[in-house]
Amino acid sequence: MDLNLKNCKECGRMFKAASRMQRLCERCRENEDKIFLKVREFIYDNPSTNVMEVSEEMNVDEELVLKWLREGRLKLKGEGSGYPCEKCGETIQTGRFCGACSHAMSNELKAGFAPKQEEKPKKKSKGADRMHIKR
């Protein structure tokens, strides 16, 4: 059995995924890439556009546009053209979080890693170990 066989999220066709992240068959992925390039061009030509407008003008799912923005593949530029930060709701124009949240999160991440290092077991000598065994 091939574990990489998946059903395409778009057309439902069975396909062989090159990676676990791949959710579209080759044909749909190429199609999505074409749409992506068009959307990117549209935003480039209309810098003050917003997600809703892109979705309407390009006939693309808003969710898809948002996905690309969250992945950082697209970036909005216009005033008031953003979408909410996933954490605090602040308006952002690319990525998943606003500057403050991603900053806070990277700090949390660092803080989360720090205790781990402290918890590292101290090197024990075999002799010391033996002394603690009680029978």
82 binds Zn ion (CB under 5 A): no
Q: Which of 37, 52, 88, 114 binds Zn ion (CB under 5 A)?
A: 88
Cβ proximity to Zn ion: between 13 and 73 the closer is 13
Classify each residue of 16-39 as buried b or exposed e, where b means 16 or more C-beta atoms within 10 Å of its C-beta.
ebeeeebebbeebbeebeebbeeb
Q: How many residues sit in the footprint of Zn ion (CB under 5 A)?
A: 12
Nearest partner of 72 among 87, 52, 92, judged by Cα: 92
- 19: three-class secondary structure by DSSP: coil
64 binds Zn ion (CB under 5 A): no
Q: Which of 17, 28, 35, 105 binds Zn ion (CB under 5 A)?
A: 28
Q: Which window, 48-56, 69-77, 81-89, 118-126, contacts Zn ion (CB under 5 A)?
A: 81-89
87: exposed, middle or buried (C-beta count within 10 Å: 0-12, 13-18, 19+)? middle
98 binds Zn ion (CB under 5 A): yes
Q: What is the largest CA-CA distance in the chain?
A: 79
11 binds Zn ion (CB under 5 A): yes
- 78: three-class secondary structure by DSSP: coil
29 binds Zn ion (CB under 5 A): no
- 15: three-class secondary structure by DSSP: strand
**97-102 contact pairs (CB < 8 A, 24+):** none
Q: How far is the CB of 82 from Zn ion (least distance, A)?
A: 11
Q: How far is the CB of 64 from Zn ion (least distance, A)?
A: 14
8 binds Zn ion (CB under 5 A): yes
- Residue numbers at the binding site for Zn ion (CB under 5 A): 8, 10-11, 13, 25, 28, 85, 87-88, 90, 98, 101
